[in-house]
Structure 1
Amino acid sequence: MLNEFKTFIARGNVLDMAVGIIIGAAFTAIVTSLVGDLINPIIGLVIGGIDFSNMYVVLSGDVPPGASLEAARESGAAVFAYGAFLMAVLNFLIIAWVVFLLVKGVNRAKDSVMRAEAPAPEAPAGPTQEELLAEIRDLLRVR
């Protein structure tokens, strides 16, 4: 069983997957910061500073008017937090768009590198040795 485990770990797929997970975790922090610190404030400016995350409807319980979603939840009230859901969907769409643009850019860069490294097409080869010998033979027969 130990040998099987060693074989499993030594496969390239497992190492590639581990590297992908580690890079993905680091990449998540970058994308989260991009969305939260750069894109969301711009969207908030465009739509007039509306923050969806504190929009909710109290289903039961007492919540003071104008209380934040966190305060409403801490008071023990049952709240329908549609704003938090809208923000989660909006963040997902923004993150998906950013990842799409990054993958598209990486693929475009990779394609341009592949085109640059592609070998030049070979000049058309002349006749083969057999074809030359057959031509010489035919010329000798004519004489």
Structure 2
Amino acid sequence: MKRMLSLLSLLALASLTGGPATIAQADDIDDAIHYRHAAMEVIAWQMGPMSRMVKGDIDYDAEAFAERARRVADLAPLPWEGFIADSYDRQGTHALPKIAANRDDFDAKAQAFEDAAVQLAEVAGDGSFDTMRARFAEMARSCKACHDDYRAD
């Protein structure tokens, strides 16, 4: 009897929440938010030491810088698939809802970041610190441009 009441309670709750489809959608949205956060954190992990090298906070190591630049170029395409419909106004996300209304601009900014990351990887470790620093600055500006428009503080 207790088991039957539990089952009936669960079914009643499911009907109020829209059932399994709504629950699955909520899980998909939460998974997408988690995925894009994780992808951004991995990219930030790689960019941190490069930023410190460019600023002179730590010694410049051309080989290490080049390796991190290649990793960022490889990782740059990953976060964007996590920006799915209905995932911009959830607790735990900094993504602004206006991404949905401005998707073409958002996608263009994402592509600019990817392009800048590839361009940095192409020059990193080739010997010209000034060229590498300029390309790193371009990549950082592409991050900032998207964050300025589409990320809440």
The structure whose residues are more often strand, as a share, is 1
TM-score of the pair, normalised by structure 1: 0.32
The structure whose residues are more often helix, as a share, is 2
Quick check: which has more Rg, 1 or 2?
A: 1
